[in-house]
């Protein structure tokens, strides 16, 4: 008779239902209920929740919580902060902290009278200024009684 098996006492015994199984064939599950998967024992185990995931489909996150993105494994990873950024939306900085300016989604230090910045130091100052050892721009001192100054 279907749904029964002969036990050790040679009696017909009802095959036990597998918890959270939607379609069962004898002692194995072929389809689990939503939120469960068929494990190595052909039983139904709960699909583990993905940390920081708002909407999960099986083992993949479809939507992460704010401040996180879906990585290549379908899990949620934290969006890295942009250094010296005051207002960041996902991977984009829209406003830098005071003393910094936005350049190609990076906050770079503002150095007065500087034309070119390398790292956090000025490498070329505006006309009439020179680069100091600390990487700032300082006015070139005027030489008294000199008509042509280079």
pLDDT of 60 over the 80 cut = yes
- Delimit the domains of the chain by residue range: 4-46, 50-79, 81-110, 111-150
Question: Coil, helix or strand for 15?
Answer: coil
Question: Coil, helix or strand for 44?
Answer: strand
Total count of residues recorded for the chain: 150
Cα 131 from chain centroid (whole Å): 39
Q: Is the dihedral of CA 60, 62, 63, 69 positive or negative?
A: positive
What pLDDT is stored for residue 148 in this prediction? 61
Contact assessment for residue 56 and residue 49, using Cβ atoms and an 8 Å cutoff: yes
Q: Give the predicted TM-score (pTM) of the model.
A: 0.59
Tokens of 34: 């939503």
CA distances (Å), 91 to each of 50, 65, 72, 94, in order?
Answer: 22, 14, 16, 10
Each residue's pLDDT tens digit, 3-31 = 778 878 888 888 889 999 999 988 889 99
Distance CA 99, CA 121 (A): 13
Contact assessment for residue 131 and residue 123, using Cβ atoms and an 8 Å cutoff: yes
């Amino acid at each position: 008779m279907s749904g029964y098996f002969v036990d050790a006492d040679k009696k017909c015994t009802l095959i036990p239902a597998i918890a959270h199984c939607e379609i069962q064939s004898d002692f194995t599950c072929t389809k689990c209920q939503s939120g469960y998967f068929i494990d190595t024992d052909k039983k139904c185990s709960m699909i583990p929740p993905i940390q920081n995931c708002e909407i999960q489909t099986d083992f993949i996150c479809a939507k992460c919580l704010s401040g996180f993105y879906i990585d290549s494994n379908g899990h949620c990873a934290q969006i890295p902060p942009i250094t010296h950024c005051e207002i960041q939306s996902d991977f984009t900085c829209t406003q830098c902290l005071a003393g910094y300016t936005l350049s190609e989604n990076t906050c770079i230090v503002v150095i007065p009278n500087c034309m070119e910045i390398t790292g956090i130091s000025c490498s070329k100052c505006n006309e009439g200024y020179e680069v100091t050892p600390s990487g700032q721009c300082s006015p070139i001192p005027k030489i008294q009684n000199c008509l042509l100054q280079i």
